[in-house]
Structure 1
Amino acid sequence: MVKSSTPPNVIIFFTDQQRWDTTGVHGNPLDLTPNFDRMAQRGTHLYYAFTCQPVCGPARAALQTGCYATRVGCFRNGIPLPPDAVTIARCFREAGYSTAYIGKWHLASRDPVPETERGGYDYWLASNVLEFSSDPYRTVVYDNEGKAVLLPGYRVNALTDAAIRYIASHQEQPFFLFLSFLEPHHQNRLDSYPAPEGYAERYVGRWMPPDLAALGGSVHQHLAGYYGMVKRLDEAFGLLLDALRSLQLLDRTIVLYTSDHGCHFKTRNTEYKRSCHEGSIRVPAALQGPGFDGGGQIRQLVSLVDIPPTLLEAAGLPIPETMQGRSFLRLTRGEREGWPEEVFLQISEWHVGRAVRTRRWKYGVFAPHKNPWQDSSSDTYWEAYLYDLEVDPYELANRIECASHARVAEVMRERLLRCIQEVEGEKPTIIPAKRVPSGQLSISEEEAWQ
């Protein structure tokens, strides 16, 4: 919690569909993210950060409310955030903060976004579905009055410049700024990843993550552009930090960089996300500023749903009882006792599914009899996959049918049922997969609990 009498400013720098392994601190060798990497090393790096649902709207609902998407009601895209939702913006506004949202929203019924569907933000310069209202060099967003505003420059820079203008004009009052980009998400109407001019060429034929190298998908078509977009995002992040430094706001501003979900480049299904594989669910995340400078690398598993309560506690504000997430601020002080050993994930649109991930294991179930666009949950699920992330970090070998892993599946099944009960208030039935002999494979009881 902040000890200063001056409340800290808070900025969320939010990318869309960015994999964790685009960053240097996670082993990417292409120097795409020097500014993020520097913050992760000097501030607090969430080494294991995950979305709670790998699709835009539900993930954003969780980040605005600190609740899982099924609790909020936004279990798929196209469902507006409830007007009475207790949001992080409303919490900061009630504490005297100026609140601003710039960029992509994806939690409303239409564009321009009605005021009742803006989550309680005072200043508004955004589009509900930015990929539909804009192109890479034609950024159209809507202001508080619902008027279209054309911002100059490549879309990443256009939004960053708008954010810097907001910061410069709101120095006298503590502010909470949510800056939400579309990049490195694809441009839907073209199914392309349009980097700034000259950027994609730098990365053609360069390093690719092993899961993508093994499975292919659309990676050879899209990865170079994707990397170019990530590079420009990091440059823009550096410009934002420079602006804070020049205005002497850097030391009293909490800055968070993260993303709504990752991207598997059509390797796990016929599009880019909506699966519980690492490429979809693991995201980059780091913080700096009061409460987080020198916080080190946190190795506990953290979810997007934990971010709102964390930021509120770091600003010295109360955490609403409605929030299901947990503040991880204590982890920066080394207070790890009682922190959950797993993260819980929900899946919609592709299928109705649930999953749980520990440091070593990932276990998932699905409900093939349910409509993933109409049904938010199921009373019955079937086992779908079990991955050993210690020996198979790229999830190339599904062990759910292996007799050697039956005990692991049993332990993970109970973990998942407990999570569903805690989050959704229900305890469904899970139908075990058929087990088959698995040769020399063998898992001990101790390993099953890892």
Structure 2
Amino acid sequence: MANGQKASQPNVIVFFTDQQRWDTTGVHGNPLGLTPNFDRMAARGTHLYNSFTCQPVCGPARSVFQTGLYPTTTGCHRNSIPLPEGTQTMAHYFRDAGYKTGYIGKWHLAGENPVTERGRGGYEYWLAANALEMTSDSYDAVLFNNENERVKLPGYRVDALTDAAIRYIDQEKENPFFLFLSFLEPHHQNHRDDYPSPDIYQEAYTGRWTPPDLAALGGTSAQHLGGYYGMVKRLDEALGRLFDAVKSLGIAENTIILFTSDHACHFKTRNSEYKRSCHESSIRVPTAVIGPGFDSRGQIRELVSLIDLPPTLLDAAGISVPEAMQGRSILPVLRRETASWPDDVYVQISEAQIGRAIRTSRWKYSVSAKDPIGDVPTADSYSEEFLYDLQADPYELTNLIGFESHRDVTAILRERLLRRMEATGEPKAEIVEAQSKRSGQRRVSESESRV
């Protein structure tokens, strides 16, 4: 532990990737050995096995992590809506508790580039770009500093940001600090719709292994999956470098490191681009935490949402969780202090549709607005769109919505979803039932309906 730091104030580092599927990791069955550092982190710390975003698109997901509020609460329900000035963020909560705060990488919560101080969410140290994919490329990392000066960093973009993070950690090692390290990878490079890996991994993973949903549905996976995997590999190497840095600086035992992603990637199999849908390939992400309060906690099977991570980090740092936050700290679950944890996660979907979904341990149920009018975050009326039995169909290849055999489970999920919407503060809405379909041999018992 650094000399000037109290044991009650652990450092906190968020290692935030963009558009990373859960099944890129070895602990989720990927056979390519892409993530030995993440896998070790999951084994030695806490692995949140069932981890989901609550908004599968960049800006809204980031607003959730910075505020602990749903996008319909902050108003950031789609990309290109800046975080309202005066919004309390993680930076404010940590600063008020005596922490130094730093942000490095992609922000995507402002309406300008470079992002002036008023749009930085209260972070003191700043080396970032609003939409990093628009200001940089894989070997052309361009960000902006506190003075809004253009800064070009050497190396592959993942390495460049990691170098900057290590410099910041070394600089602040005598003080408690909260560092948010936000990568673009493994998100595509927008202007050419490409997934550019480091040169050394080009073609190394092409054709090696395809997840079952992509094998069945195709999309752009044949073109893009190899590069995507190369990006994931370099991110994991960066995670290892971060572990080495905090160990060499003598602060590993008092540093919490959280790894997660804003959303996943379905490679144009569910709509015309890569996310913005209710499917696991849009919403399920890899998440693990290591450090004080999280070491040796093992694999946690409860369903955890992105909105639960801000209160968890505050709780772990000994900072009071604001009552306004709409998620829950998972620490009582880790400590076995409570048996009460919701068996569902709630998802808001924007841009491709105004959609709402609920995911339980077995079922996925999703609705979309019938006739959305204008750029609005909510709707008065939704239509049933998807129902999946994740036990029988984990890759969501058979849509059961409307099946006579699943009428009871659909009714239960419909009511659960409406309650979730209301609890989030959304206006009262109706859900129009799907047209009934014959279901052949399929049957669902009453007990199965309530799982």
* TM-score band w.r.t. shorter chain: over 0.9
Say if 2:8 and 2:318, in contact at 8 Å, map to a contact too.
no
**Aligned with 1:325 (options 314, 327, 331):** 327
Alignment of 1:25-174 (within 5 A): 25-174=27-176
Return the offset for 1:362. Answer: 0.4
* Partner of residue 383, structure 1: 384
Say if 1:9 and 1:253, in contact at 8 Å, map to a contact too.
yes
Structure 1 residues 14-60: Cα deviation after superposition (integer angstroms, max 9, x where no partner):
00000000000000000000000000011000000000000000000
> What number of residue pairs does the alignment pair up?
446
Say if 2:8 and 2:317, in contact at 8 Å, map to a contact too.
no
* Partner of residue 409, structure 1: 410
* Partner of residue 449, structure 1: 450
Q: Distance in 1 between matches of 2:375 and 2:72?
A: 12
Structure 1 residues 409-449: Cα deviation after superposition (integer angstroms, max 9, x where no partner):
00000110010010024321000001111111000010001
Q: Distance in 1 between matches of 2:419 and 2:101?
A: 36
* Partner of residue 429, structure 1: 430
* Partner of residue 3, structure 2: none
Say if 2:15 and 2:259, in contact at 8 Å, map to a contact too.
yes
Say if 2:363 and 2:389, in contact at 8 Å, map to a contact too.
yes
Say if 2:370 and 2:381, in contact at 8 Å, map to a contact too.
no
Return the offset for 1:84. Answer: 1.1
Q: Distance in 1 between matches of 2:324 and 2:156?
A: 39
1:282 paired with 2:284, answer: yes
Structure 1 residues 78-107: Cα deviation after superposition (integer angstroms, max 9, x where no partner):
000112111111000001100000000000
Say if 1:87 and 1:120, in contact at 8 Å, map to a contact too.
yes
Most deviating of 374-383 and 196-205: 196-205
* Partner of residue 23, structure 1: 25
Return the offset for 1:296. Answer: 1.0
* Partner of residue 338, structure 1: 340
**DSSP 3-state at the match of 1:298:** strand
Return the offset for 1:172. Answer: 1.2
Q: Distance in 2 between matches of 1:40 and 1:211?
A: 24
* Partner of residue 193, structure 1: 195
TM-score using structure 1 length: 0.98
Q: Distance in 2 between matches of 1:248 and 1:49?
A: 30
Task: Flag structure 2 segments of 5+ consecutive residues without an equivalent.
Answer: 1-5
**DSSP 3-state at the match of 2:43:** helix
* Partner of residue 296, structure 2: 294
Say if 2:354 and 2:372, in contact at 8 Å, map to a contact too.
yes
**DSSP 3-state at the match of 1:362:** strand
Alignment of 1:169-248 (within 5 A): 169-248=171-250
Q: Distance in 1 between matches of 2:342 and 2:273?
A: 31
Most deviating of 316-325 and 57-66: 316-325
Return the offset for 1:336. Answer: 4.3
* Partner of residue 308, structure 2: 306
**DSSP 3-state at the match of 2:293:** coil
Code of the residue aligned with 2:23 in structure 1: it is D
Say if 2:333 and 2:339, in contact at 8 Å, map to a contact too.
no
Q: Distance in 2 between matches of 1:144 and 1:293?
A: 35
**DSSP 3-state at the match of 1:305:** helix
Q: Distance in 2 between matches of 1:247 and 1:5?
A: 16
Code of the residue aligned with 1:383 in structure 2: it is E
Say if 1:200 and 1:227, in contact at 8 Å, map to a contact too.
no
Say if 1:86 and 1:322, in contact at 8 Å, map to a contact too.
no
Q: Distance in 2 between matches of 1:16 and 1:255?
A: 17
* Partner of residue 266, structure 1: 268
Q: Distance in 2 between matches of 1:258 and 1:398?
A: 29
Q: Distance in 2 between matches of 1:436 and 1:187?
A: 42
Return the offset for 1:244. Answer: 0.3
1:252 paired with 2:254, answer: yes
Q: Distance in 2 between matches of 1:260 and 1:335?
A: 29
Code of the residue aligned with 1:300 in structure 2: it is E
**DSSP 3-state at the match of 1:430:** strand
**DSSP 3-state at the match of 2:424:** helix
Code of the residue aligned with 1:381 in structure 2: it is Y
**DSSP 3-state at the match of 1:203:** coil
* Partner of residue 440, structure 1: 441
**DSSP 3-state at the match of 1:202:** coil
Q: Distance in 1 between matches of 2:249 and 2:64?
A: 32
Return the offset for 1:158. Answer: 0.1
Structure 1 residues 191-223: Cα deviation after superposition (integer angstroms, max 9, x where no partner):
000000020311111111000000000000000
Say if 1:55 and 1:77, in contact at 8 Å, map to a contact too.
yes
Say if 1:351 and 1:368, in contact at 8 Å, map to a contact too.
no
- Between the aligned residues of both structures, percent identity stands at 63
Q: Distance in 1 between matches of 2:299 and 2:306?
A: 17
Pairwise CA RMSD: 0.9
Say if 1:140 and 1:150, in contact at 8 Å, map to a contact too.
yes
Structure 1 residues 376-430: Cα deviation after superposition (integer angstroms, max 9, x where no partner):
0001100001000000000000000210000010000011001001002432100
Code of the residue aligned with 1:415 in structure 2: it is R
Return the offset for 1:5. Answer: 4.0
